[in-house]
A and B are shown apart, each in its own frame.
Chain A
Amino acid sequence: MRRSNIHSKKGFRALIFLFIALILLGIPSYFWTKKSVSTLAGRYNSPLSPIIMIPGSSASANRFDGMISKINKKYDEHHSVLELTVHKNDTITYKGSIRNGDTRPFIVVGFENNDDGYENIKKQAYWFNIAFEALKKRYKFNNFDAFGHSNGGLIWTYYLENYFDDDTIDINRMLTVGTPYNFEEVDNSKRTEMLNDFVKKRDKLPADLSYYSVAGTKGYTDDGIVPIGSVDSGKYIFESVIKHYTLITVTGDTAQHSDMLDNQQVISLFHQYIINDGVNPPNNANKPGKAKN
């Protein structure tokens, strides 16, 4: 250490400045951390808040790929996508993954048995519960948003009424597109068995949920498959039970039942209500514009 004794005066002064600065910064932040950890323990919101999506009947887990790439392109965002398929024997296969640091990933849950009908919806809700428990265990999130297309919305409703009773996890908002709460029934007064069941158990729905239901119409009556009256029947289930229930009608070029996922209005609504759900700050990690150096 021959030369180390001959340090420069300027350098030495800077070193002293550095250590004083570290100590001065350390003391207040120590107390601040103590305080913030105790508030954190009280109410903690996980940064990861996935958007969980269920496709309609006869569609599989890749049903939303087109819509997701449209969203990524339109809003310059890069949400990662995880696709789950639950098989008839209760096993799950995974495709894709959640990128590290992505707080708003899309998780799509599809089913090997994706048939229509009330009995199948009950089964699918049961399978969805299996997938949801696995996701919760794996990713440790404590809040999420829900999206369902067509019968996917029915699976959500059945799931929320019959399986979802966890205090440790919050559903922030839900958006469904063309969900037939009364199946193909046009007349609101003729309730199907499923609608009756849903209405009966409506008190089980989470009270702080905001729900947006989108209906498409062509020629004033239906979207080609689902009558608007059937979508509208959702009001008997949700109105005045949850925090907000909103019905939105979309008309025009791509308002047909299966095309609605490509509809620009639906994509805007999805981005406005689900991705920017107001609970979480806008996700900068997905924005390429914010450089991280």
Chain B
Amino acid sequence: MEDLYRNSFEKKLVQWTLRIQKLFIYRVIQRTVLTIFPFVLIGSFAKTFQVVFLGDDGFLGKLMPEINDNVFEQIDDVVSAISNLTIGWVSVIAVFAAAKYTAKYYKRDDQLAGITGSISLLIIAYVYSKRSPLAFHSSVLGVRGLLFAILLGIFIGYIFKLTSKEAKNSKFKAMTSSILNRTFTSMKSISLILLISVIFSDLVNITFYSNLPESVLTSISSTNPSTAPLMELLHTFGFGAYTIIMSFLGWSGPYSAIETSYSDPASLANLSYALTHHTAWGAPNLFNGNTLYHAFATFGGTGATLALLIAILWVSRDNDLLTVSRWSLIPSIFNINSGLMSGIPILFNIVFLIPFFLAPMVNMLIAALALQLHLMPPSVYAVPAGTPGPLIAFLGTNGSWQALIFSLITLTVSVFIYLPFVRIAERVKTIDNLDRDERSAKNEKK
């Protein structure tokens, strides 16, 4: 067995992962993430189409043929319906899956637990508004709410365990009375959960209107950051790190992978410099979110996942990984990585935590060095939404070849950072499968 591993680090990480995978909560999380994959994948295609073709400043918006406004609106509506009710709705599916798995594990009525979970999340996200009935706080329902949804699902499954009796498998042929019986065993749990949800949702609505989360964020992401280069550098690295870690947990940080913000004073100063001097060389702020994070840390989305995709396509022989990667290829080109995040999965997957964090950070470091040594100009111009990651620096500098070369260098470095972890992920999977086979073989013997 020893020669299976290339070094002790690889061995340790594999063993550690296998141990964590035995944890019940981790298994629920991973299974849930995989359950939402098909919806996320379809949604990511719709989202890509929306961002790249239909958006006001979409990357290929110029390529859209001139069509009647009405027809355009129709297309836009249909596409956003698909993306809003898949990616934008994914936590409702996740809470269903998580509650179902948990209830099933404790041999409770899993079907009802799942439905109760979905309703409970919807209640929590419900907007108490007289103006628009049946409206929800969409940020709770999308990918951002994923971790919360999974934990809520586990919690609901657990409440079912505590407050309802074991559910016998219902036979499809059985009379309605036995189904009713089943329902009433879970009645207590359902009412209790709905009650908790309503109380919680009232709290959500109070905090939403008091702008509490908003004001906390505002106080950190102040627009008056220090202009000293070192402070600016640390600021950007800090925000980048925070965003990456948050994405790993399904949340989102201050930096978005698709839309870049150019309204902060540092970027505006750069832009006005470049517009007056007709060059990006010598722009005053070298180390802000646009010059480092957006240009070099988001190849294929947060965590430089395009590098992972290339690494998998290059070395992997695992069919699952390959299929997911090929399906996620097109959205990934335009920096939409939700398919990859839930299909591989990367979300909550401790194998990929290290490269997911390390690759973008190393990229930013290389870029910062290159900028400091004046090997390339900083990207100062606004790039359209959905610009492919490796092209952002190139277009943001108005076509500087040095920037393109550095993009390719950093992309290659990221691929090599991801490579060993792809192997580790494969290894973990093989051992896990072997284990399962052995176990089932033993069970058969008994």
A residues with a Cβ closer than 8 A to B are 3-4, 6-8, 10-12, 14-15, 17-18, 21-22, 25-26, 29-30, 32-34, 37, 40-41, 44, 46-48, 72-73, 78, 80, 96-103, 138-141, 281, 285, 288-289, 291-293
Q: Which residues of A contact B272 (CB under 8 A)?
A: 44, 140
Q: Which residues of B contact A22 (CB under 8 A)?
A: 333, 388, 390-391
Q: Which of A97, A100, A293 contacts B261 (CB 8 A)?
A: A100
Q: Which residues of B contact A21 (CB under 8 A)?
A: 333
In the complex, the answer to whether A6 meets B224 with C-beta atoms within 8 Å is no
Complex: how many Å from CA A51 to CA B325?
46
Given A48-B268, A100-B221, A100-B254, does the pair A25, B391 have CB atoms closer than 8 Å? yes
Complex: how many Å from CA A22 to CA B278?
27
Q: Which residues of A contact B224 (CB under 8 A)?
A: 97, 138
Provide a sorted-by-A list of 30 A–B residue pairs whose CB atoms are within 8 angstroms: A3-B317, A3-B423, A8-B316, A8-B317, A11-B314, A11-B325, A14-B313, A18-B310, A18-B329, A22-B390, A22-B391, A25-B333, A26-B391, A29-B384, A30-B395, A30-B399, A33-B398, A40-B381, A41-B275, A46-B263, A78-B214, A99-B221, A100-B223, A101-B261, A101-B264, A102-B263, A140-B269, A141-B268, A289-B138, A291-B88
Complex: how many Å from CA A292 to CA B388?
17
Q: Which residues of A contact B164 (CB under 8 A)?
A: none
Given A15-B313, A33-B395, A34-B399, does the pair A100, B252 have CB atoms closer than 8 Å? no
Task: Tell me, rounded to whole Å, the shortest Cβ–Cβ distance linking B56 to chain A.
Answer: 7
A sample of 9 more A-B contacts (CB under 8 A), given A97-B219, A99-B223, is A7-B313, A7-B315, A14-B325, A21-B333, A22-B333, A30-B395, A33-B381, A97-B224, A281-B56
B209 at interface, CB cutoff 8 A:
yes
In the complex, the answer to whether B313 meets A46 with C-beta atoms within 8 Å is no
Task: Tell me, rounded to whole Å, the shortest Cβ–Cβ distance linking B278 to chain A.
Answer: 7
Closest A residue to B326 using CB positions: A14
B15 at interface, CB cutoff 8 A:
no
- Say what secondary structure dominates the interface of chain B: helix
Q: Which residues of B contact A102 (CB under 8 A)?
A: 263
In the complex, the answer to whether B265 meets A140 with C-beta atoms within 8 Å is yes
Closest A residue to B208 using CB positions: A288
Q: Which residues of B contact A100 (CB under 8 A)?
A: 221, 223, 254, 261, 263-264
In the complex, the answer to whether B209 meets A73 with C-beta atoms within 8 Å is yes
Q: Which residues of B contact A12 (CB under 8 A)?
A: 313-314
CB within 8 Å of A: which B406-426 residues = 419, 423
In the complex, the answer to whether A72 meets B316 with C-beta atoms within 8 Å is no
Given A25-B333, A139-B268, does the pair A291, B142 have CB atoms closer than 8 Å? yes
Task: Tell me, rounded to whole Å, the shortest Cβ–Cβ distance linking A238 to chain B.
Answer: 31
Complex: how many Å from CA A289 to CA B265?
26
Given A72-B211, A292-B258, does the pair A14, B329 have CB atoms closer than 8 Å? yes
Q: Which residues of A contact B54 (CB under 8 A)?
A: none
Complex: how many Å from CA A138 to CA B211?
25
Given A100-B261, A139-B265, does the pair A293, B391 have CB atoms closer than 8 Å? no
In the complex, the answer to whether B338 meets A293 with C-beta atoms within 8 Å is yes
Closest B residue to A41 using CB positions: B275
Task: Tell me, rounded to whole Å, the shortest Cβ–Cβ distance linking B175 to chain A.
Answer: 45
Given A29-B395, A139-B268, A293-B252, does the pair A41, B278 have CB atoms closer than 8 Å? yes
Q: Which 10 pairs between the two chains have the least Cβ-Cβ distance?
A: A140-B268, A11-B313, A101-B261, A48-B263, A98-B223, A97-B222, A47-B263, A33-B395, A100-B221, A291-B142
